[in-house]
Structure 1
């Protein structure tokens, strides 16, 4: 647990654990960058995993973001140990400790002596008195170690962090010494030797960090974060104002009702009786409907329970022939039962009751007969969107080509992903998964036993690849190795990964299978030409629904139906971060841009970006950057909307 510390510094909040509210001990940070004491986060993980019964993830205590530990990280008891240490916070803590107490020479202390320290070695992380400092400078191994004056550190004149060594997250105890520009990743000696020896642009960490504080990249990120913080502050202010306005509206309605009631006091009993009757009648009707809904659902459950009882009894006491007949009876009724369930659930709606006063009631002198009309309002909830970073108008139609990557071939299935600062492509003719850096240079290749068709990201380092036929291959993109395969029994071309499931698209079927076992969870039939699918979750997906129709399904209902002028071949589908939908038509050479509710914005001519037959399209997460693949030539064009 953390230990108490006097709050005298302006960055004190950075050194305080939000779980125990004390200064960190053994600070560990999560992917969302929230930091906690090692002991605190360990206790939290064990408590959370025990309650939620998860084996691979836990949620950040602050922002509730899922932290994926993976299946190979051992028991939850070891997860806190495997989290990366926050060396920046640790260095600030070292500096605090030096500033707030008189430091004793560590070398003298080892010899049972007590002498005031004057300097601090940021490599050895030890304090030295004057004589020990001279000795430290004479040894060949430590002669070039940077030494800081403790007096300067205590007075804030020394800006260098007291413990400036940064250690590798992957290799414990190894110091970061290099930086891979191709992967935007700091490296220790082992990283550089084992994983990045083929990278073209590896430089020293000092060179990579030189001038970083004042670089355009830093200034842009700082501005972007501050702008996003401002947007969130504005949104919070907006919601608070809305809450205040809503409360005022509610109070105003109450006052208005009271005034109207006072103005029509002579007829109050009659009108009150009238409005009560209306309310009671509406309430009775709607309560009856809601009761009928509940009864219908209970009847469905009773039917299932009856089937279970009959089936279990038959299994225990019936003959083999009786079991066969019961199975046939149940299977015969399953489809109707499923349709009844879907129909019943889709018709469920929440009902609210509002009072809408009419203007006659406010002028009682003109003989008021009714106080108002009670309306039942049925609505679907909606939430405002927040754009992170630069605001881009995706409807301008202005597209800038950034890079062209030549993947040669003819009539070739090329799909791909943005993963960090790399491009991952599948190439059907080469039977390969290809990894390219941001400059368009090939970094690695992985050969598959079957022709790849599509690829879907699962985690930061893992992806799944569909191949001709049925097999899905799980690939470690970082190491470019096979991890495992799923011998799926359902045909697949394009597919996507959502919440532990794969949605498989093929011709006129969509099939949901478990991403670990390959077991089918659900299957639906489309009107054909369904070769790719985009999914937000299990009940929100977009796909071709015939040769000239694209549909978005939401909770088993069509949220929109987009119909093209004439039949064409729809293939790649993706969505930008503003919610606009993009459809590739390889037969016409068009890319259709739709609004989130399926209205056509514009048709982008693929020729304008150098593509003959657009096959696949993929947007980079939270970015205006995307790439389009060409069925005719195999090349990939990386673009951005400006």
Structure 2
């Protein structure tokens, strides 16, 4: 990877040298475009997904998107469709747009002047007020109006700053100060303090406690930023900008060609109709109507594709402008935060772009096959001819989109910090952010789960596990520093295995344990039991203690799977998925069909569960996102997620393991059959190694371990 980064930097340096002449003549134009109106962003508001829009455009969109009947408390981002929640869901919808933070980087880079060329006060502009500035503070590099000058002088900290008349300052020196928002988008009042390399995520301490407590490759944001390099990102963004321009230019040309074909065909057909005189008038109208409908349909399709790609292009231009804003600063926390935010929104945008335009054609060739007897047999004619449209995606657009996908994949696979000498566990971060470190091992390149194969690592047989009857491992969880803990429903035990999957010891429990997961506190576990109760306990230094019941479900059928979603508990029953608070209150059931319901939660605020032979995905508020029918699978059981949100699920009766993408758009049968298991039941992933552990339903082989490897 270091060789790749070095080559990429050299390539960028060569391109920079070639462009020096152009750069010297180029006038810095730091205007950013709204991704709705595609005009200069006016009072920019940034959503949690990092996409930015005019306040007015966002307000209009929210009011048109919000549906009162659904009683929704969020709206999808206009670009990537990520769920966006207002600061207070009880506020009127008309105030939602203004509740999102201003994008200070966008605002600070939009240099505003009056019609006469005078400068507006920078302080007033941050509050959307336009007052002419009369002074300039050299220390703050800010333009000040008279009232702000007075407030500036009265401040004890600012009173010593040298303030001069605005006329004494060169126009090239007047720029709005650059502000980088380092607040956490998920948790109000919290700042970004750490970076999770397992998920490429900027996090506050609450994010670590609630969403990344199982992650092992975590580092303080300051330490990470010190090793950050902007060269690779800038070069890749430049490539993506060029490719997006190619796509937009191609669409514009194709639209012009389509309009020209339409005009030529309309003219030619009109000439033939004129020759046929009055008797062909009716046929002319029919044809023209069909032609207009066909043209409008394909024109609208191409317009929509063009708009989507223009938004895509504007997004990359915005990102490039961001890089220009921060490039002058030394590599530090602000630069790193902006880069990671940009990578996140670009990834989401590209995924959405693939869904909306990946297979849409942008070439429509209108042809007319005239009836051969048009001039000979006028009296028996029923049509002028048959309109044919051949469509395709141009090779240049296809190549550009493919190139963009590859660049995005490279950015996601390559950390902005090129090397790391130490890593940090999430449990350490919770107690002392940025201070307690543990040595990190060399990072093995991850295998693509969509193309890699699985090989058997180990089979753990019944005789190696102490138990009176055949073990029935219905739930498994990895515990940092402890190993693999499995729930043995048949023998009413919890069984501990080390990191090599060797049996260590077991713990007796009162009722048959069904599923087990990490809790909200360090060393805390949550467990479901066959009597319908949910147990909270602690597990540390191989000691199981403090087992207390936090509730019992009074429902028909059994309680099955359990997981945590933020500060909520998810519980799967025979006929519902129930969402409750951490103290087991305010239960909100989601009815479902089928039984043996297992659940899995994603750090992105989504959760997944089985309903008969279908995987259902819902957002935190219970709204359904998608349903995916697994091909050939029978009797869904265990379910788990990897760090990219991909879903792994067992088919107990079909004897296979399926992989489903986080958005339900892709599926793959990972294992059509296993070595010694015919009825797989539970599944879990190793937190650091690309290994899958699959348990059996009362078979001689208790569980098997498979590892991803290259094909």
What range describes the TM-score normalised by the shorter chain of this pair? 0.3 to 0.5
Q: TM-score, normalised by structure 2?
A: 0.42
Q: Which has the higher contact order (CA 8 A, sep 6+)?
A: 2
Q: TM-score, normalised by structure 1?
A: 0.45
